[in-house]
Structure 1
Amino acid sequence: MRRPRGFGPARPVLPAVAAVLLLASAATACGTERADTTGGVGAATAAPRTSVTDPPVDGVRITSVTIPTASQTRDSTPTPTPTPSRSLGLVHADPLPTGSGDSAGPGDSGISAVYEITNDGSESLTYTVLFTFTTSRGEVMSSKRETVRAVGAGRTVRGTVELGVLVPGASPVTTAKVAEVTKVPAAEAPADADVCPSSGIRLTADEGDAAMGLRVVGLHLENCGKKDYSLDGYPQLSLLDEDRRPVEGVQILQGGDSISTGTGYDDPPSPLTLKPGETAVSGLIWRNTTEAGLDAVTVPYVRVRAKSGAAPVIVTPHLDLGTTGKLGVGAWKRADR
């Protein structure tokens, strides 16, 4: 009996067609591609992550850094990676994602560092960490400050800090460092700009100004609540060392002119009432001169009360008082509009 035509021995499949069918089958079965570390078609182009073994600084350490090569930065034109298509097993090139949100965009370096914070204390703390991104010779090319709120006692939290845009002409960054750590009890930390404390008053310190050894740091008191807030006098200050213990031997003087004239905080106090949305300012004024043979004094923390009975807020102006032993404080005044 003859076999119907077409049912003879199986014919060999052409190699090119077999390769396409095999690729399509693998895509259907797995759903996604695996990274190809051989550098062939479909090879992954993720930036390398390098482990960091530097010891922690006050409970904060960097565990790894990610530094893309020049061809992997977001401002370069990505090379499309071939991915399988569901139609007939053919292969086409899909564009790579360019990132999402405000953190991505042209010029973004793609450099980042993964860090962890361990609170080995007995109370919840808010950490502010200054990270620096450096060259192989230790030159700082950029820095970022991160605030991590309410890290519970005995807890470890992790996060990522991104360098963002690197200034043109900067030397290649090779690693990241923990440059500075400040930590305050979570209940006394300055509130974020979009958060109003239960007191209805948000107190913060600015970055300050320095010239010829004279230092001025502004204190800003905003009525973010719904009721009027009255002031008449000077902020109440307590100076604290790195362990947040009282610093002795420093005089706190009223008025900026007790240190230098022309600071903007020389006027005596006068009563004022802040309506919701209004702000008052004061200032911390000092000199950092140092006399030979005397120990210089640095005060990292200042506990501030807007007035008697107000909730305390700890700011971190890092007062480099030298050997002067004096700190001036200005009276509250209405902020210039």
Structure 2
Amino acid sequence: MIRRRAGALLLTAVLLAGCAGQLPQPGPQPPDNDLAPVPTPTPVPSADPSPDCPDSGALLSLGEVDAAMGLRAMPIRLVNCAEEPVHVDGFPELTVLDEQLQPLAVEVIEGAEVVARVDTVAGSPVPVTVQPGERAGAVLVWRNTVDDVRVPPTHGTFLSVAPAVGEPAQVLEPDGGLDIGTTGRVAVSPWAPAD
């Protein structure tokens, strides 16, 4: 009986030794720590200016043209994309440009009521402080009138817009351009806080 048990144990040991060469070998063991190291994320500032934000902090854009019976009105938007307040007081500085970005002989008049009596764009300029993330707006108005058939109508392709005289301008492309006809003028309302 003892010999049978000893033989069985010997046979089991031989089989296990033979199989040991076929078992996969364990790889390197991680250090004996209870917690694995957690990578530290790179902090991202939440209030950084947008990559497109100009040095002035005033990012400009144009809205859609509202056309009715020859009268055109187009919003000009200013958003403060910086971390400090932006101050505007008065009118945007505008130049109408052709497709080669050359200035056209178009008079820009301060005060939209010169072209059209529209209550929503009338008013005198007041100082406006635009806090970070807030907006201000103005409106460009003109008439598509041809009153002299001998003069070819003027069509502006781009608009150079600065928040005020002496500040850097941004070149914007109105959707559909500016069909000024033969009037030779446009008018702009003063900056106002956006609704």
What is the TM-score when the length of structure 1 is the normalising length? 0.41
Q: Deviations over 1:77-130 (max 9, x none)?
A: xxxxxxxxxxxxxxxxxxxxxxxxxxxxxxxxxxxxxxxxxxxxxxxxxxxxxx
Match of 1:302 among 150, 159, 163: 159
Q: CA deviation at 1:293?
A: 2.6
Match of 1:251 in 2: 107
Q: CA deviation at 1:331?
A: 0.3
User: What aligned pairs does 1:119-134 form with structure 2 within 5 A after superposition?
Assistant: none
Q: Are the aligned partners of 1:282 and 1:331 in contact in 2 as well (CA < 8 Å)?
A: yes
Equivalent-residue separation in structure 2 for 1:334 and 1:215 (angstroms): 22
Q: CA deviation at 1:206?
A: 0.9
Q: Deviations over 1:182-201 (max 9, x none)?
A: xxxxxxxxxxx984334322
Letter in 1 for 2:127: P
Equivalent-residue separation in structure 2 for 1:323 and 1:253 (angstroms): 16
Match of 2:125 among 235, 257, 269: 269
Q: CA deviation at 1:300?
A: 0.8
Percent pairwise identity: 36
Q: Are the aligned partners of 1:284 and 1:328 in contact in 2 as well (CA < 8 Å)?
A: yes
Equivalent-residue separation in structure 2 for 1:257 and 1:199 (angstroms): 29
* Matched residue count: 143
1:284 paired to 2:124: no
SS in 2 for 1:302: strand
Q: Are the aligned partners of 2:136 and 2:194 in contact in 1 as well (CA < 8 Å)?
A: yes
Q: Deviations over 1:170-211 (max 9, x none)?
A: xxxxxxxxxxxxxxxxxxxxxxx9843343221100122111
Identify, as 1 or 2, the structure richer in helix.
2
User: What aligned pairs does 1:1-337 form with structure 2 within 5 A after superposition?
Assistant: 195-248=52-105, 250-262=106-118, 264-291=120-147, 292-317=149-174, 318-336=177-195
Equivalent-residue separation in structure 2 for 1:309 and 1:222 (angstroms): 19
Q: CA deviation at 1:287?
A: 0.4
Q: CA deviation at 1:324?
A: 1.0
SS in 2 for 1:257: helix
Unpaired segments of 5 or more residues in structure 2?
1-49
Letter in 1 for 2:182: T
Q: Are the aligned partners of 2:154 and 2:182 in contact in 1 as well (CA < 8 Å)?
A: yes
CA RMSD of aligned residues (A): 1.7
Q: CA deviation at 1:311?
A: 2.2
Equivalent-residue separation in structure 2 for 1:199 and 1:260 (angstroms): 31
Unpaired segments of 5 or more residues in structure 1?
1-192
Q: CA deviation at 1:253?
A: 0.9
Q: CA deviation at 1:242?
A: 1.1
Larger Rg: 2
